[in-house]
Structure 1
C-alpha cells in the first residue's frame, strides 16, 4: 500500500510539473509586467507621447492607426516599425505607406526615453501599445489599463500584408471575417471602427461614392446630400486630398462617429455599412446614444486587439532600436 501511495504522489508531482510547463509555454500578458524591471515605464511613455503631441496633433491618429496595422500583421510585435534598406518590410506595402510618420516617431521617441532609464528591458511592441492608449486618453477618450509583456517580432515582410488589412470598400461580412481571424467579434469591429472619430482619409479611398457609385447614381444615395457636396468641395475629381474622417469633432475621441453614421455622414463604405446592415445597425444606434457603452466596448476591444499574435517569454527579442532587428537574424 505504501508503494502505491508513493507512486501516486510521484505521479501527482509529475502532472503538476507538466501543468506548470504548459502554463509557462502559454505565457499571458499582465498589467504589472515591468513592476520590478522598469516601474516608471508608463509615466515615461506618457510624457514622451505628450511631448510629441505638443509638436503635432497628427500624433494621436497616427499612433492609434499604427497600433491597428501592427497587430493585424504578425500580431502586436512592432513588426510595422522595421525599416528595410530593400524597401520590402511591412511598412513598405502600399496600404501602409499612408501611415503617418509622426506615429512612428512617437514610438521611437518613447523608446529612447525608456532606454535612458531601463536599457534593454521594454519592448517596442509594449511601448506602441501604451502609446496607443495614451493618445486615446489625450484626445479625451477613456483611460484603461494595458496588458504588457510582449516581445518584438523577428519577421517584417511586405509580402505578409496583402489580404490581411480591412479595406475601405469592405461590407460587414468581409469585416467580420477578417476580424474573426484575430478572435475579434462583430461588436469589436464596430467599437474599433469608432477610432475613425480621429484622423484623416485620402479622397481616393472613397471617391467612388462621389463620382462613380453606380449607373443609376454617380453619388452614393446613402450619403447625406449636404455632406456629399462638402466632400466634393474638399475632393475635386481626381485630386487626392486629405479630409477628416469625422466632420463633427475630428480632434476629439468621442461617439460622434456613430452619430455621423445615423446622419448619412459615414465617410468610407466600410463605415456606412455598419449602419446600413441590419445585423450591426442596433449596436451603432446604441453607441450613438450611449457614449458610456461605446467607451466600454472600445476598451474591451482594444485589450483583445492587444493580445493578437503576441510573442512572450523566450519568443522574439527586446529591440534596442525599434526600426531594426538587434542582429542579422531578423527577417525583413
Structure 2
C-alpha cells in the first residue's frame, strides 16, 4: 500500500453559522483550546483530519485547524496561540471568546488531507501540533505505525501534552530549552516509500522538511502553512483575460490586480479570506487555460494537473483563463 490513497481531500458541506464557545481550556502557556457547538445542539458538518475552519472576527478572518474527534458531530475544537505580533486575530480570541460567547464560522475545508499509508512520520512545531492530533488518532485507528517529533520553545509552551502522554513510546518531545535541536537529516534518512511524512509549524521547519524529502527518492512531504510560502521572484505581471463561465462575465485582469479583485469588481460573487494564497477559500476550477500558481496550498501534483487555482494570488500563463465562476 502506498501514500496515494487519500482519506481527506473530500469536498464537505461548508456552512456559515454562529457557534457557541462551550468550553475554553488553557492547554499551554499562551495556548487556549476552544470547543464550539451549535447553540441548538444540532449536528455540525462532517470533517476529516487536516481540515480547518474560518473564524469571522470583527474586521478580519482567521483560519484554525480542527483538532478534536472527527466522530463527534456536535463539537468542533480548535487550538489558538496568542501571537505576540498578533494583528488582532489571536488577541481577540484570547480576550473575548470566553465560555458562552458566540463566533461566526465558515467551513470546514481541507487542503491538508490525510492519506492512507503503512507508516507515518509526524513533525510538529509549536501550535502546528493541532492538525496532526486527529491524524495521529486516524493512524492509530487503522493500525498503522507512527511516530511524532514535537518541537517547542519549552515544555510549558507545548499544548496537548496530556493527550499525547498515553503514546509516550511513539512521541519524542523536543523542548528547545532542554535538549539539542531536531536532527532532521537523521530523521528523514529513515522513512521508506511506504511512509507518509506530515509537518506543520513555522516556515523554517516546513522548508527544511520539504527540502529533506526532495533529496530522498519516494519520500513526499505533506505540509500546511500558517503564512505564505517564500518563493523565487515570480515572473512580471502581465494583463490577461478571465472568462467567468457560470456568471457569463468576462474581465481583463491588469498587471498588479488579482483575479479575485477584478472579478469581484465586475459583480461576480466570490469568497475570499487570507488574500495570501494560504487558506484555500478562493479556490476555483480551471476549465480552460494555464494557471500561474503562486499559492501556498496546492501540492506539486495539483499544480501540474492545472485543474484548480487560488484566485487571490495566482495569475495566468496563457492569454485567457476560463474559470468556474
Alignment TM-score > 0.5, same fold: no
More strand by share: 2
- If asked which structure has higher relative contact order (CA below 8 Å, sep 6+), I would say 1
TM-score, normalised with respect to structure 1: 0.25
More helix by share: 1
TM-score, normalised with respect to structure 2: 0.26
